[in-house]
Structure 1
C-alpha cells in the first residue's frame, strides 16, 4: 500500500537529494550568489585603507570614523546566525534577493552620506542586510550540489571567504586613489542590482516555509543582539580604552554577560529557537567551528597587522599597501584548485594540519622583522600565509558542513560563519593588546639602555646634534630624533612578538585535527537510499 502521509512544512522545506550532474542553470545561479557573498565580505575591509579620507570628507574625529567599520561588524555578526532561520522561512531565493537589494540600497546611501552619523547608520544597515548572503552561499554549496562535487564548490566559497578580506585593503586603496572614497560604496550598486535580478530569475534551490514566521522568537533575537553586539563592541574598543577601565566598555561587558545567559537559556527552551545550538553536538561540526574560529584570528589578524606595519613603520600609502598585500590574494587564487584536487585523494584532516603548519611557518619568518622589511622580505611569508589559509579553510568548511544532514545545514552555516567572524574580532583585540603592551615594554627597556654610558647612543646623539647645528636648539632636536628612533624600534619589536605568539598558537592548533572523525572521500559518489 502506498505511503500517503502528508508532508510536513519541514519536509517540504528540505532540499531534495541533488543529482550527480550539476545543471548549468544552478551552477550559474550559485556563482551569482558567490559574487554577492564576495561583495559582502569585501566591504568589511574595503574602508580600512581609506578611513583617513572618509574622516576628512565627513569632518569626523578619529574615534567617530572608526565606527564606519565597527558598526558594520556589529550588525553583521548579529545577522549571520539569524540567517539560518530566515533562510528556512523565506527560502534561499527570497532571502538572498532581500539581502542583495538591501545591501545595494544601503551602499548607495553610504556614498551620499554627508555626516558621520548618517554614514554609521547606513553602514550598520549595509552590514545587517548584506550578512544574509554569506551563510546562505555556504548552505547552498553543501545542499544543492552532490557530495562528489564538493571538491569544486568547496574551494570556490573557501577562496571567496579568505580572498575578500585579504584584498579588501588593496581594492579600497586603489578605488580611493583613482576616484574618491564615495566610490567605495557606489561600486556596489550595478553588481548589486544584477545579483538581485539574477537570483530572482535563476535560484530554485528550495521552497519557503512562511509558517515559521508566525513562531519567530523575538526574545531570542533581542538577547542574541545584546550578546553578540556588545561582545563585538568590547573586542573592538577594549584594547584602545584599557578594557574595563572605560565606562562604555565595562557597561557593554556587563550587557554581554547578562544577554549571553538569557540567550542560551532561550535557545535551549524555545519551541522554535532562533538559532539551534544543538548542532554543536555533532563532533566534526563542533571541532570544525573551533578550527574556523582560530583560522579567523589569522585571516583577519594578519589582514590588519601587515597594513599597520607598512603604514606605521614603512610609511606606505594605501595604494602601496594594497600592492604589497596582493601577493597573498594571488597565492590563494592559485592554491584553490590544488586544494580541490587534494581533497579527492588525501585525508582532509592531513590537509588542514598541513595548512595550519604552513601558516605558522609564514608567521615564524616574520618574528625576526626589522624596520627595513619591504616587499621582498614580506614575499615568502605572504605566500606561505596564502597557501596555509586555503589548505586550512577549504577542508574545514567541508568537514564541518559537508557531513551534516541537509536539513541542518542552513542553521549550521550561520553558526559556522559566525565563529570565523568572532575569531577575527578576538584576533584583532589580542593583537592590538599585544602590540600596545609589548611596545611599551620595549620602549622602557630601550630607554634604560640608551644612556650616556652607551657609546653607540652617545655617538648617534652627537651626530644628530651636528646635523641640526644652526637650526635652533640642536641638542633638543637631536634628543627628539633619537627618541623617535627608539620608539620605532620598540614598535617593530612589538610586531615581532605578535608574530611569535601567532606562530606558537598555530603550531599548537595543528594538533586539534586529531579530534576530527575521518570524513568520507569526496571522490566516491553518494550511496543510493
Structure 2
C-alpha cells in the first residue's frame, strides 16, 4: 500500500544526517544551477560571445573533477566527509566572490576561465560526500527511497534556482539601469562634454544616446550578476556551518 511504501518517504527526515544532507544539497544546487545558466547568458549579453565561445569559457569547470573524482572515490572513506564538503563550499564561496569582484564587460578570456577552473575542485568534492552524509545511518531498505528523495529535491532546486536567478538578474538590471540613467541629462557637464566628442563618430544625438544606453545596459547586467555571485558566496559560507551538525560515522553502503 502507499502508506507502507509512499512515493515520498518523509520519515527519512527523522535522520539528522539525511535532513542536513538534503538541505545542503538543495540549497547548494539552487545557487550552483543558477550560476550555470547565468554565466553563459552574461557573456553573450555583455561581451558579445556566441554560444560556442560562452560554452568554451565555462568548460574549464569540468577539468578538475576528472582529476579529483577518482581519488575521492578511492580514498574518500579515509577522510571526514564534512572536511570534503567544507572544502567544496569554501571553494564555491571563494570562486563566486572572485567572480563578483573581477567580472566586467572588459574582462579578458583568461580572467573568465580561471575562476571556472578552480571551481571545478569544488564540484568534485560536492555530490559524493554530501550523498554519503545523507545516506549514513539509514537502513539498507531505505536507500532506494532516500535516493529518490535526494534526486527529487536536487532536480526541484535546480529548476527553482534557474528561474529565481534569471528573474532576479533581470529585475536588478532594471533597477541599476534606472539608477545609472538618472544623472544622464543636459545639466550634467560630463554627459555634455562626452556627447559632443561622441557626436563626431555617430553623427547625431540619437546615435550618441543609443550608444550610451547600450553601455549602461552592459554595466547594469554586470552589476546585477555580480550581486548574485556575492549572494551565492555568502550562502555557501553559511552552508559550511550547517554541514558540521552532521553526526559521524559517515558510511553508506548504497553510495558508490
Superposition TM-score, scaled by structure 2 size: 0.90
Give the structure 1 partner of residue 209 of structure 2. 479
Q: CA RMSD in A?
A: 2.0
Query: Offset at 1:490?
Result: 0.9
The 10-residue stretch of structure 1 (357-366 or 474-483) with the greater mean CA deviation from structure 2: 474-483
Residue 306, structure 1, aligned to residue 39, structure 2: yes
Query: Offset at 1:304?
Result: 0.3
Query: Offset at 1:404?
Result: 2.1
Alignment of 1:209-220 (within 5 A): 215=1, 217=2
Give the structure 2 partner of residue 492 of structure 1. 222
User: Is the 1:294–1:423 contact (alpha carbons within 8 Å) kept by the matching residues of 2?
Assistant: yes
Per-residue deviation, residues 22-73 of structure 1 (Å, max 9, x unmatched): xxxxxxxxxxxxxxxxxxxxxxxxxxxxxxxxxxxxxxxxxxxxxxxxxxxx
- CA change 1:345–1:381 in 2 (3 A) is same
Task: Specify the SS of the correspondent of 1:365.
Answer: helix
Residue 395, structure 1, aligned to residue 129, structure 2: yes
User: Is the 1:332–1:386 contact (alpha carbons within 8 Å) kept by the matching residues of 2?
Assistant: yes
Query: Offset at 1:294?
Result: 1.5
Aligned mates of 2:14, 2:44 — CA distance in 1 = 44
User: Is the 2:100–2:227 contact (alpha carbons within 8 Å) kept by the matching residues of 1?
Assistant: yes
Aligned mates of 1:413, 1:521 — CA distance in 2 = 15
Aligned mates of 2:92, 2:57 — CA distance in 1 = 18
Aligned mates of 2:4, 2:31 — CA distance in 1 = 37
Task: Specify the SS of the correspondent of 1:519.
Answer: coil
User: Is the 2:21–2:130 contact (alpha carbons within 8 Å) kept by the matching residues of 1?
Assistant: yes
- CA change 1:393–1:484 in 2 (3 A) is same
Per-residue deviation, residues 356-408 of structure 1 (Å, max 9, x unmatched): 01101000011122112342112221123211122122200111125422111
Give the structure 1 partner of residue 90 of structure 2. 357
Give the structure 2 partner of residue 515 of structure 1. 245
Aligned mates of 1:516, 1:355 — CA distance in 2 = 16
Question: Whose radius of gyration is greater, 1 or 2?
Answer: 1
User: Is the 1:313–1:371 contact (alpha carbons within 8 Å) kept by the matching residues of 2?
Assistant: yes
Alignment of 1:177-192 (within 5 A): none
Structure 1 gap ranges (5+): 1-214, 218-269
Per-residue deviation, residues 158-194 of structure 1 (Å, max 9, x unmatched): xxxxxxxxxxxxxxxxxxxxxxxxxxxxxxxxxxxxx
Aligned mates of 1:351, 1:342 — CA distance in 2 = 11
Query: Offset at 1:284?
Result: 0.8
Residue 409, structure 1, aligned to residue 139, structure 2: no
Alignment of 1:91-110 (within 5 A): none
